[in-house]
Amino acid sequence: MFGFPISTPRPRKDYASCSGCGLCLLVCPVWRRSRDIGLAPLGRAKALQHGAVAADIAESIQSCTLCAACEPACPEDIGLVAMTLDLRRQLIQPAAVPSLRARMDEQAARPLAPRPSSSAVLLPGQALREHPGTLARAAALLGGMSNIPIADDDGSDIALALEAGVETPAQRLQQFLQPLRGLKNVAVADGLLLRHLRQWLPGSKIASLGLALSSLAQVRRALRASDLYVIEPRAYHADYQRLVKHYDALRSDAGCTLNLDLQRIAIPASARSLAQRLEPETAADIRDDSVQARWILQGRNVERIVVENLEDSAAFERVSKLPVVHLADLADDGTS
Ligand code: SF4
Ligand code: SF4
């Protein structure tokens, strides 16, 4: 169903290989906001090389947004996201974690989700579920003649646990993966969950929702040369070398502008810390998102913003009056 090749994840180096070149700073949203090297990969690597343990650099570990922009920037090919996640697992967990564990236990107690009726499934995640019209349009586009099934259990709790460095109980993980085993195609909106699904389901094609939708001819036709197309960075950077080609072709076909800079690394429009993801109601403000969205818009003459990830919509709406449309809603966009 998904007409594009998928590459296999490969092993990467660890912090011991950091040369201190500083290239990761150029793309890191946390460094751009704070100008504090200690909060960037360079600072974490140097601290660990000099004997620090996770607790010594807890603020740095927790502030990372896991956007993964630093990975393709790193000439030493260090697995910076996996290392941050590993360090998070070594920390005393934030206060919100018990409720996250309870959510996973509650989910594990539910009956196994039925196996999808087709060879493909969509895992929409929380943000897309909150926009049922967009979700329905995404499912219709991906399904072709009939809607692609939407998974009842999309692993949102597991995605959040991964982000927080909390171990997912084996029973819960098994319950989530069982209906997905053997499927040919899985489209997933959460870029961090995508990284793990590629390891958990090696026989399936796992694609980000953005990649799956932007591969469709009818979606590409609806893009305009005056659009700013905003790539979801977590999934893009997880498969950067191959996806550079996909998005080059998209830009060439549509003539649109992309949120790419500095060797075609995707600039994240949202810059959510772990606290903002775990406790969005009580966490500190989200000025970071505005800084990032302004950076992306700077010097670009565009008339519409098209996002792969609904979390990015609010960031652009705060800093611009341009219409912001999700990829799945392009055909129904009334701004023509
Ligand atoms: S994943 Fe993103 S926020 Fe975290 S260190 Fe890398 S660039 Fe910075
Ligand atoms: S880009 Fe890589 S090698 Fe260079 S400072 Fe950052 S983590 Fe170290």
**pLDDT at residue 275, as a whole number:** 77
Of ligand 1's atoms, which has the minimum distance to the CA of residue 268?
2
Residues in contact with ligand 1 (CB, 6 Å cut-off): 27-30, 40-41, 64-70, 80-81
CA geometry: angle at 159 spanning 84 and 169, to 5°? 95
In this structure, which residue's CA is closest to atom 8 in ligand 2?
18
Structural tokens at position 257: 């502008």
Q: Is the Cβ atom of 85 under 6 angstroms away from ligand 2?
A: no
The residues pairing with 188 across neighbouring beta strands, listed in sequence order, are: 123, 208
Type of residue at 56: D
Report the C-alpha gap between 325 and 230 in whole angstroms: 10
Tokens 């909390």 appear where?
Answer: 166
Best residue among 44, 71, 78, 240 to mutate for probing ligand 2's pocket (most ligand atoms within 8 Å of CB) is 78
The residues pairing with 304 across neighbouring beta strands, listed in sequence order, are: 227
pLDDT bracket for residue 288 (50, 70, 90): low
Summary mean pLDDT of the chain: 89
Best residue among 23, 63, 67, 87 to mutate for probing ligand 1's pocket (most ligand atoms within 8 Å of CB) is 67
Residue 73 DSSP code:
H
CB proximity list for 284: less than 8 A, separation 6 or greater: 273, 275, 276
**pLDDT at residue 276, as a whole number:** 75
Q: Is the Cβ atom of 226 under 6 angstroms away from ligand 2?
A: no
**pLDDT at residue 278, as a whole number:** 76
pLDDT bracket for residue 41 (50, 70, 90): very high
Structural tokens at position 214: 């932007």
Residue 119 DSSP code:
S
Residue 286, pLDDT above cutoff 90 = no
In this structure, which residue's CA is closest to atom 6 in ligand 1?
70
In terms of CATH architecture, what is 220-332? 3-Layer(aba) Sandwich (3.40)
Average pLDDT over residues 50-76: 94
Tokens 């809607």 appear where?
Answer: 147
C-alpha dihedral (156, 192, 267, 80), degrees to nearest 10 = 150
**pLDDT at residue 334, as a whole number:** 55
Q: Which helix (H) or strand (E) holds 297?
A: helix 287-297
Q: What residue spans define the domains of the chain?
A: 15-89, 97-212, 220-332
pLDDT bracket for residue 117 (50, 70, 90): confident
C-alpha dihedral (260, 59, 164, 66), degrees to nearest 10 = 10
Q: Is the Cβ atom of 76 under 6 angstroms away from ligand 2?
A: yes
**pLDDT at residue 261, as a whole number:** 86
Report the C-alpha gap between 103 and 38 in whole angstroms: 33
Q: Is the Cβ atom of 21 under 6 angstroms away from ligand 2?
A: yes
Of ligand 2's atoms, which has the minimum distance to the CA of residue 78?
2
Q: Is the Cβ atom of 191 under 6 angstroms away from ligand 2?
A: no
Q: What is the pTM of this model?
A: 0.90
**pLDDT at residue 6, as a whole number:** 52
**pLDDT at residue 57, as a whole number:** 96
**pLDDT at residue 313, as a whole number:** 92
pLDDT tens sequence across 180-232: 999 999 999 999 999 999 999 999 999 999 999 999 999 999 999 999 999 99
Q: Which ligand is nearest to the CA of 72?
A: 2
Residue 331, pLDDT above cutoff 80 = no
Rg of the chain on CA atoms, in Å: 19
CB 38 within 8 A of CB 107: no
- Judge residue 235's burial from the number of C-beta atoms within 10 Å of its C-beta, 0-12 exposed, 13-18 middle, 19 or more buried: buried
